[in-house]
Amino acid sequence: MALKKLHILSLGLGQSNFLNQLYGALRKEDDSLSFSIDRVYDISEGKVAAKNSVFEAEYDFSQENFSKAVSLRSYVKICCSRFFWRSLFFEMRQNFSALQLVRHFLTRNIYQSIVDENILPLNHDIYHFHYCIPYNLRYVFHLPSSAKVICSFWGSDLYRNNDKRTTFYVKQALKRANVITIQTPEMGEDLLKRYGEDLRPKLHFALFAQEMGIYDRIDALREDTVALNEFKANLGIPLDHRVVAIGYSATEAFHHIEILKVLKTLPAESLKNLTVVLSLTYQRDEAYLKALDAYSKSVDSFNIVQLHDFLSFDEVAKLRSITDIQIQMPVSDALSGSVTEVLYAGNTVIAANWLPYAIFEQKGITFYTTSKFEDLKHILPEILKDPEAEKQKNKDNSRSIKAHFFPQTTSKAWVKIYRDII
């Protein structure tokens, strides 16, 4: 019997690199799923173009000038809403001025009008909100109680937004949601500690889809030393150098400078043929980049390469393939695609033990963990001393990643969530 077609509207963060992968994989798993999206944006700025859009429709539910009749209906709805009064009293406790309270009321009126006039007439079966911060969840509170709502955490939305206002609004949204998704059990426990044990029955574990184009290209490059040497040369990396990558983002949270300071203390033998690559193409913080650039220029004991232009899938695959070691020690992180790709390529990862990476260990994937930046002084020289021994240790990682983290496995959990919610 044919499955009922489900129409899913993606709301919140419309970041292309996650959602194209996720929804593209889910459509392959179940072609009766149909996806539309509000305000999708391409973080590659055209560098990585989707061959075919995975979305049936793309919308922009931005502010409009609604008629007086529509606004009046929204005012009445808002005044009858428990959430509105709860939020108003919360804002009053934050010492909001009278003007701010009026603005709060008007903003809620606009959101209610957008939901009633623009979103609900489209008749979607499921409203899937991504990246759980208050602004991304703004429409949750104005949907009817019969609407099926999924709230999905990505990682930094759970760990890097801890102020009172965020906690209040996100908690209210999670109470309203039918399903909450998180990537790993560790992250799930952190979520329950923050937002309440009563949410446990709604909590589902579902991994985001990996970009298979990158993994296919990594496989193709395994024996292609010519292409990899060419890529190294184009980046200004001597062919005999070992490559150490730090993180994948251009924010201070990735501790580039702290790590570079430790690397400067390594024995001369370890630094002799070493290039450090800083991938700074994503989440760019210009003030921090200036400070990082100034510090990098002060280092003369090893080579540093900074990447500022967004990389194509082919370039990403080549970078993961030439990365001998990736150091991953940000303040917080979900399951990083870059880490998984480096491990799949057979290379080494050193990760902070405060990151929710236990799932890698549970699936038999080999990597190093540490609790302190200073530990890198001891770990790195040992790894650099015998790179071939490290490759041997990592040889089964690609098989484990393929078995547990590829879409043929991860997509099933998402499809089940969509089917069970109806």
Average pLDDT over residues 164-193: 96
* Shared-domain flag, residues 201 and 244: no
Judge whether 55 lies within some domain: yes
* Shared-domain flag, residues 313 and 346: yes
Please provide the average confidence, as pLDDT, over all residues in the chain.
Answer: 93
Judge whether 1 lies within some domain: no
Q: Does position 178 have pLDDT exceeding 90, yes or no?
A: yes
* Shared-domain flag, residues 293 and 368: yes
Confidence of residue 221 (pLDDT cuts 50, 70, 90): very high
**How many structural domains are present in the chain?**
2
pLDDT tens digits along 125-166: 999 999 999 999 999 999 999 999 999 999 889 988 789 999
Expressed as residue numbers, the domain containing 347 is: 212-404
CA distances from 308 to 74, 156, 182 (A): 46, 22, 30
* Shared-domain flag, residues 158 and 53: yes
Judge whether 369 lies within some domain: yes
* Shared-domain flag, residues 217 and 192: no
Judge whether 149 lies within some domain: yes
* Shared-domain flag, residues 148 and 222: no
Judge whether 306 lies within some domain: yes
**Percent of the chain whose predicted confidence (pLDDT) is above 90:** 86
Q: Does position 47 have pLDDT exceeding 70, yes or no?
A: no
* Shared-domain flag, residues 323 and 246: yes
* Shared-domain flag, residues 397 and 417: no
**Percent of the chain whose predicted confidence (pLDDT) is above 70:** 97
Global pTM reads 0.91
pLDDT tens digits along 328-373: 999 988 888 999 999 999 999 999 999 999 999 999 999 999 999 9
- Whichever domain contains 86, its CATH number is 3.40.50.2000
* Shared-domain flag, residues 91 and 20: yes
* Shared-domain flag, residues 110 and 142: yes
* Shared-domain flag, residues 159 and 50: yes
Judge whether 312 lies within some domain: yes
Q: Does position 284 have pLDDT exceeding 90, yes or no?
A: no
* Shared-domain flag, residues 202 and 241: no
Round to whole Å and give the CA distance between 274 and 233: 14
Q: Does position 65 have pLDDT exceeding 90, yes or no?
A: no
